[in-house]
Chain A
Amino acid sequence: MNTPDSRADLVAAEDVLLFVNAAITATGQREFRSSAVGQQLSLDFLHTYVRVNYRRVYAASLALDINHHNAALIVRRLLETADEASPEERRTEGRLIAARLAALPPQRVYRLFGELRRAKVNNRRTRAIMRGWLAARPDLGHDAVKYRAGVKTVARHIHLPCPEGAEPIAEIGAFLFRPGKLPRYEHPLLDAWRRAHYEQGAVAELPFTVAEGFAAKHGMKREVFLKRAAPRMTRLERLRTQEQRTVGDRRPDVDLTVMPLTRLALYVLSLGFEERSERRAELTGALRAAARRAAGAHAGSWGRVHAVLDDSFSSSGSGQKRRRPLAVALACHHLLEVLAAPGAYRGLWISGAGDALLVRPWGPTPLGMRILDALEPGADGAAPDRLVIVSDGWDNAPAGLAGEVLRVWRRRLDPARRTAVVHVNPVYDAQGFDVRRLAAGVATAGIRDAEDLPALVEIARFAEGRTGPAELYTYLDRQVARFTGEGAAS
């Protein structure tokens, strides 16, 4: 196209941002205001729309920090419709897919492969991708025990040869397809699985999820089992079972500081108020440490930051995403504290709560008034450099005041854009095919994990409409190059 900013280009750029926002936030699960089916239908349409119209961008979004659900969905759609792509596109897509699969958790990948099998996608390219991914697994024996059905499906789908004598693949083949034939296995996990059927001692050697089934079969006491299985748990399993493993006052020493920030915030919010205030030092310390780690090189670089954080009732999420929006807000609170210059951060909760550790999802959303509070000059008398709003965008006390305040303020009081306003939204709005916006002039970005905040703010820049589509595509190309380059290096 000759004119760089033609209308079609602008529409395309808008669609791309819309899709990126959706791919970051939507997980096809129930939200506070919409059902799971509504979310899935909406997301399904969006995927089809973007894949058909902007296939290059569709593939390129694998390089962004989109969530696992959407990454798996994109990979599946790309492989299902490989015939629509040119050979060169296919090469790029292949690289992106391989890099993304390497970054996905294995259970997601096995589920994706299962879906591909059910969709009868079995061409040479797909098989090669699967084989490549399987070859890169550090220990296939472990996978065969933990994701038994998944590995079996894949092995069947790609006709994985398990020739006699080629250890350990031959053994795994026997384990999957002829169980009970071999008297013992060389691989310790496979053998533990065999012994766990009759020997309680072998149960603790297995991965936790598998061991749980055997523990139930043997009728092992839960406390005893958890204590024994603790060393083999993953990081998140350890966090999840922490409360069950508490004996009296003695809490198992889980190192909270190594947990990812948003997970940690979710864990903190799952505790009762009394426990939170009892363990205040430990929890706050862990949150701060996680935030410092997430901020990395960005720490202290954002100047004066004011934030409006949503803790209204709608931030309780749904039964499937319990307190997720509130956890994102809590994580953002700690992250922004680190990102801001020392002492130049002010976080305002919508309910007026002063203590970040004791927040609860409660009450209406008078977003407009809190934004006014946040726009007030800070302690040193200067206006904030950045205003960050973490909210689901449903401003209801009264509706639409936030947008009006931001509009009037931008037009009348800050036309020079001294303060950058960014709205991050953790909830995908199924009806609008996007995250809900506050006002036309305010950049809105979807957010899934608070850790991605610095990257998201970069994307949100494009949504403000002051940078053209050309920059957006350059940004995407850069991300793709970085992502595939990294994937090749590792």
Chain B
Amino acid sequence: MNRLELTGLTAGPAQVWGGVRLVPLLREVPVEGLRLHREVYEGLGAGIVELGPRERYLSYIPHGLVADWSGEEDGRGPEAGRQSAAYGTQFGSGDKPRAIPLPPVPHHRMAKRRPGDRLRFLPLHLALEGYLALHFGGPSTAWEEWSRTALRDGLSPRAEDAYLGLSVRGLADALRIFEIHPGQCGVMVYVSDALAAAFVVPHPDDYRLLHASLVEDLYGELVHQYALYGAPVAETPVRIGGAEHIRDLGELRAAARAQERAWAQAHDTLFAGELLDTSYAFDRVYRMKSFTLWRFLPPFVRDSGGQHIGETITDHKGQVAYLKTFRLSDAQIRRGHLLRTVAGAGWELDRAAAALGSSREELVRRMRAAGFSALLKSSL
């Protein structure tokens, strides 16, 4: 498995608002046997996640998702009441608190089994962790060029920037006025016609509830910049060509239908191509009967359009039931590319430089420019 398989999902007509274009993804039939629910957490999105006995991190966690493969109607089992708050409970009084108290109970693990056939996971955390933890351990061989910190702590601390959907200009409005299609199970978010995120769920009812949660998700810095500086995108209204050959209403109707098909095709090849045609490295996180939760990393090839990290749930045929992606910026792709190459060369600078087709000095310069100077000895 190395590709995203979006069979069963067709692209609907896009809705444009300012610089944001939202393309609905429609399913003929919902995915059998899997539902997603939303859990809203207290504390304005501040939360702690406990990874191991002494590892924990502090993060922005507005909500979690609960995958439910028990097949019970609406996820409400007789013995296990659904553990979720009503939408909106996190918004307290209007005044801004000076300090946000951390919730007393940390989340245990990013993906945690719940009573019954349920799994709670923190959306996008899996994907971002996959990217941040890329060769996190540091040099595997203690070549003399690497600093002592690099050998002792690896890449820690490793930081990347992401932006809240609310701060992406125009996104909140575009989502608010978006008219959800019947049977809609997903959406592709384009900002200045660059694919910013893809979101797919198994069932239309889940989508209706989770649609608004997109504004609380994380978006890459590129998306934020495009939204801030980009101009409104063209609405590209349809044109019925060859009008002189239309002689009755039936032919006019056929011409209109052809426009709809043309758009769906154009979207899959032209707009979403970069997401669907890339081969990814999948990493299994959890298996739930016939469904599997994965996170994936792109190949970090440079100069090949946008690259997306993300997480997905696939069924036994490899078809996507749930998908959430995060677009990396060029700098982030560059960092991933460098780390991949250096690790592939056994952390030996000369071999890595040869693999990149450049000199050792150039590689050192590039690593420093990419923000990895702490890894290298200062004498270099």
Contact = CB atoms under 8 A, between A and B. Distances in A.
Interface stretch (B60-68, B135-143, B185-193, B238-246): B238-246
Contacts, number: 87
A397 B181 CA distance: 9
Interface in B338-376: none
Interface in A412-427: 412-413
Given A363-B180, A364-B179, A404-B240, A413 B263 contact: no
Interface string A385-419: 00000000000111111011101110111000000
Nearest to B24: A364
Contacts of B236: 399
A375 B260 CA distance: 20
Interface in A362-384: 363-365, 368-369, 372, 375-376
A33 interface: yes
Given A411-B243, A413-B249, A397 B12 contact: yes
A405 B252 contact: yes
Interface residues of A, number: 28
Given A372-B252, A403-B237, A413-B248, A396 B179 contact: yes
A412 B243 contact: yes
Given A368-B256, A405-B240, A412 B263 contact: no
A372 B248 CA distance: 11
Contacts of A401: 237-238, 256, 259
A25 interface: no
B13 A314 contact: no
B182 A363 contact: yes
A375 B249 contact: yes
Of residues A376, A411, A413, which shows the largest number of chain B Cβ atoms within 10 Å of its Cβ? A413
B214 interface: no
Interface residues of B, number: 30
A314 B252 contact: no
A174 B341 CA distance: 91
Interface of A, secondary structure class, is helix
A302 interface: no
A32 interface: yes
Given A312-B179, A314-B177, A397 B13 contact: yes
B243 A396 contact: no
A314 B238 contact: no
B198 interface: no
A119 to B, nearest CB: 33
Contacts of A403: 237
Contact of B252 (A32, A313, A398, A413): A413
B262 to A, nearest CB: 10
Interface string A37-63: 000000000000000000000000000
Nearest to A373: B253
Given A363-B179, A413-B248, A404 B238 contact: yes
B147 interface: no
Contacts of A398: 13-14, 237-238, 259-260, 263
Given A363-B182, A372-B252, A405-B252, A399 B16 contact: yes
11 contacts: A363-B180, A363-B182, A364-B24, A364-B181, A369-B256, A396-B179, A400-B237, A404-B256, A405-B252, A412-B243, A412-B252
Interface of B: 12-16, 24, 177, 179-182, 235-240, 243-244, 246-249, 252-253, 255-256, 259-260, 263
* In the A-B complex, the 7 residue pairs with the closest CB atoms: A400-B237, A398-B13, A313-B179, A364-B179, A397-B13, A408-B243, A404-B240
